[in-house]
Amino acid sequence: MPSFLSISRRCSIISVVLLSLLSGCTKPQDPVFIESEKAKGLVPDVRQAIASELLDTFGTVPAPESPLWFPIERGGIEGKIRSVKERSENGRITRIKIRYPEEAPEVVAGDVIEIVLDPETILEADLKAAEEGGVSAAYPYKVTVAEFSKISGIITLTEPLCELAEKGSPCIVKPNETLRTGRELYKQYCQKCHAATGDGNGPQAHMLKPKPRDLRLGVLKYTSTKTNSKASTEDLRNLLKGGIPGTAMPAFQILGNHEIDALAQYTKYLSMRGEIERGLCIESEIDFSQEVLDEQLEEAESAEEKREVKEQFQKDVEEYLKIDFPEIVFDVSFDLAEKWSEADEPESKFEIPGSRPDGTGPSRAEPSISSLANGKFLYLSTSAQCASCHGLTGKGDGDQVSKVQKKPDGSDYEEPGLHDVWGNVVVPRDLTYGVFHGASNPSEDIADVVYRAIGAGIKGTPMPAYGGKSLTDDQIWDLVNYIFFLAGDYKDVTPESLDVKKPAAKK
Ligand code: HEC
Ligand code: HEC
């Protein structure tokens, strides 16, 4: 057992590199965000750069923040700097009055005031500072209120605002209030399963199958959106209200709409934080992983050469962090913000075409046989391969379940069976249960839920998207009917009566 002293000493050294490890040094209060495994594989300076980027952009667990340009409704009251009452020696604003379009909010010491700057302006200022060796003119664009006079309305700031702030600058008072509310609710209702960082490793997680979602990949399985789109905000709301039937993910029907909204935003916040960390790691690990450095050192023959390798590597790291890294941060953040906001556009919705036909009536795809018979035919066909995963009778026990599958890098998974993008074994649905996990929204027809699973696939899992590719809309509807047959609907229809004598012509 290391002594307390040695722990705290080590922590004080490491904390410079790794803010997340600070938890070991402080009293058990609010948890901290945990660094991802991917980030741990990078060289210390790059790890630190990513940690401080995450801290700057997303704040801490008790004080979550998001930049204004992220599609996260983080809260806050808009205003403009009405007058500048005092400046510091270098001319930066330290005391202000703010004008609000509506009623002035109650401001107290400790509240935050944020100047509205667009991401390009910040990037430009950062790059200029990197080139000239000065301090970026864009920081700090968020400062804390030291004092507020109710009589004069003058706000005194704890530190001067950035160079770019001036009279008339738009600002946000108390930004991130919604995120804070979301955080409090998350702590109460979600953390035990999804963990503070959203990695899905909460204290109750080990008991659950499927495991609570690791939100850091930003992938949601059950969405109303197209195959390559993110989840919409509405999807998140429906998910939280309705839960995921057939899994441990509860329905939070005790929560009001405002609470659901705050939680939906906080869920997006945790996803984006995780995705940005991941994105920066992926960009950085090509050249700056510990492995790359170790390989180079191994190749060096003499001690002298090793020293040179180290020096050159350090130089490259510094150059990377100064020039490329800020742009990479910008690109990764921008792409992500765009993807999440696109998911809320009507074009991203997966449209369910037509309507469910009568199962015992003729198939619209194969009018010579019934919809159910064609559904069965397609289900067992070698082109759709449903049975290879879901099994001949739909019990989720197809051949693929016992086969050892390949990882994306070509190596074998340790456990046999299908895997999802989180690296966990995922079992094809037992279709005889009639429980559909995508059915969070009680106002949605279950047939539509099943149609969407087949048409758009299930994100992050091997369940393929058949729509617009291998199956026509009518064929998918026939399959939907057959899935209901497998689940016990159509009590009067025997399985044998659905056998197609002559194979129906394939599309
Ligand atoms: C008892 C454990 C538990 C609690 C509490 C819990 N979840 Fe979950 N959650 C799960 C499990 C398990 C899954 C994964 C189900 C699956 O893979 O099909 C999940 C999945 C999710 C997903 C992914 C949905 C999708 O379509 O992929 C999100 C987002 C989520 N939970 C958010 C939350 C939020 C926010 C809260 C708190 C309001 C919460 N969860 C509370 C267990 C839990
Ligand atoms: C490569 C394997 C694979 C194939 C092929 C496959 N599925 Fe799936 N399917 C899955 C897995 C895995 C899941 C469970 C995903 C999850 O929710 O975690 C699933 C889930 C489903 C669900 C459940 C949806 C819900 O909301 O619960 C339905 C319905 C379904 N599949 C139908 C089909 C049909 C019909 C076909 C053929 C046209 C098919 N599947 C082909 C693997 C497969």
Handedness of CA 211, 214, 220, 221 (dihedral sign): negative
Amino acid at 365: A
463 lines ligand 2 (CB under 6 A): yes
Residues 271-292 have a mean pLDDT of 97
Q: Using the mean position of ligand 2's atoms as its centre, give its distance from the Cα of residue 416 in Å.
A: 18
389 lines ligand 2 (CB under 6 A): yes
Atom of ligand 2 nearest to the CA of 437: 27
Q: Using the mean position of ligand 2's atoms as its centre, give its distance from the Cα of residue 350 in Å.
A: 17
178-207 pLDDT, tens digit each: 999 999 999 999 999 999 999 999 999 999
Reduced to 3 states, what is the DSSP secondary structure of residue 114? Answer: strand
Atom of ligand 2 nearest to the CA of 480: 35
Class of CATH domain 180-348: mainly alpha
CA atoms within 13 A on the CB side of 184: 7
CA of 451, nearest ligand number: 2
Atom of ligand 1 nearest to the CA of 459: 27
Residues 326-355 have a mean pLDDT of 96
**Any idea which of 120-129, 157-166, 289-298, 432-441 has the lowest mean pLDDT?**
120-129
**CA gap 239, 225 in Å, rounded:** 13
Q: Using the mean position of ligand 1's atoms as its centre, give its distance from the Cα of residue 210 in Å.
A: 10
220 lines ligand 2 (CB under 6 A): no
414-457 pLDDT, tens digit each: 999 999 999 999 999 999 999 999 999 999 999 999 999 999 99
**CA gap 219, 217 in Å, rounded:** 5
Burial 257-294 (b: 16+ CB within 10 A, else e): eebbbbbbbbbbbbbbbbbbbbbbbebbbeebbeebbe
Contact 238, 440 (CB under 8 A): yes
Tell me what percent of the residues of the chain surpass a pLDDT of 90: 88
Residue 356: closest CA among 367, 368, 372 = 372
pLDDT surpasses 90 at 170:
yes
Amino acid at 423: G
What is the fold, at CATH topology level, of the domain defined by 371-498?
Answer: Cytochrome Bc1 Complex; Chain D, domain 2 (1.10.760)
353-371 pLDDT, tens digit each: 999 999 999 999 999 999 9
Contacts of 310 (CB under 8 A, 6+ apart): 293, 297
Residues 83-96 have a mean pLDDT of 94
- Tell me the average pLDDT of the chain: 92
Class of CATH domain 77-175: mainly beta
- Which one of 222, 229, 249, 459 would you pick to mutate in the ligand 1 pocket, going by the greatest count of ligand atoms within 8 A of its CB? 249
- Which one of 184, 185, 193, 425 would you pick to mutate in the ligand 1 pocket, going by the greatest count of ligand atoms within 8 A of its CB? 193
Contact 111, 180 (CB under 8 A): no
Q: Using the mean position of ligand 2's atoms as its centre, give its distance from the Cα of residue 352 in Å.
A: 17
Q: 28 pLDDT band (50/70/90 cuts)?
A: low
Q: Using the mean position of ligand 1's atoms as its centre, give its distance from the Cα of residue 442 in Å.
A: 17
pLDDT surpasses 50 at 313:
yes
**CA gap 308, 177 in Å, rounded:** 50
- Which one of 401, 458, 469 would you pick to mutate in the ligand 2 pocket, going by the greatest count of ligand atoms within 8 A of its CB? 458
CA of 464, nearest ligand number: 2
Indicate the DSSP class of residue 324. Answer: I
Tell me what percent of the residues of the chain surpass a pLDDT of 70: 93
131-157 pLDDT, tens digit each: 888 889 999 999 999 999 999 999 999
Burial 14-44 (b: 16+ CB within 10 A, else e): bbeebbbbebeeeeeeeebbbbbebbebbbe
pLDDT in the model for residue 19: 44
Contact 112, 144 (CB under 8 A): yes
Amino acid at 265: Q
Contact 266, 190 (CB under 8 A): no
Model pTM above 0.85: yes
pLDDT in the model for residue 133: 84
> φ, ψ for residue 224 (rounded to 5)?
-95, 5
Q: Using the mean position of ligand 2's atoms as its centre, give its distance from the Cα of residue 486 in Å.
A: 13
Closest residue by Cα to atom 27, ligand 2, is 436
Contacts of 408 (CB under 8 A, 6+ apart): none
pLDDT in the model for residue 505: 52
371-498 and 77-175 share a CATH fold: no
Q: 236 pLDDT band (50/70/90 cuts)?
A: very high
Instruction: Provide the residue ranges of all domains of the chain, joining segments of one domain with +.
Output: 4-58, 77-175, 180-348, 371-498
> φ, ψ for residue 239 (rounded to 5)?
-60, -45
Q: Using the mean position of ligand 1's atoms as its centre, give its distance from the Cα of residue 400 in Å.
A: 26
476-502 pLDDT, tens digit each: 999 999 999 999 999 999 999 999 865
Neighbours of 247 (CB within 10 A): 16
Choose between 18 and 8: higher pLDDT. Answer: 18
Burial 136-171 (b: 16+ CB within 10 A, else e): bbbbbbbbebeebeeeeebbebeebbbbbbeeebeb
Contacts of 34 (CB under 8 A, 6+ apart): 20, 195, 196, 197, 199
Q: 14 pLDDT band (50/70/90 cuts)?
A: very low
Q: Using the mean position of ligand 1's atoms as its centre, give its distance from the Cα of residue 244 in Å.
A: 7
**CA gap 144, 156 in Å, rounded:** 9
pLDDT surpasses 90 at 24:
no
Enumerate residues lining ligand 1, CB below 6 A. 189-190, 192-194, 204, 208, 210, 212-213, 215, 220-222, 239-240, 244, 247-250, 252, 263, 267, 437
Does the bond joining 210 to the residue before it have cis omega, within 30 degrees of 0? yes
Give the torsion through C-alpha atoms of 34, 40, 42, 43, to 10 deg. Answer: 100
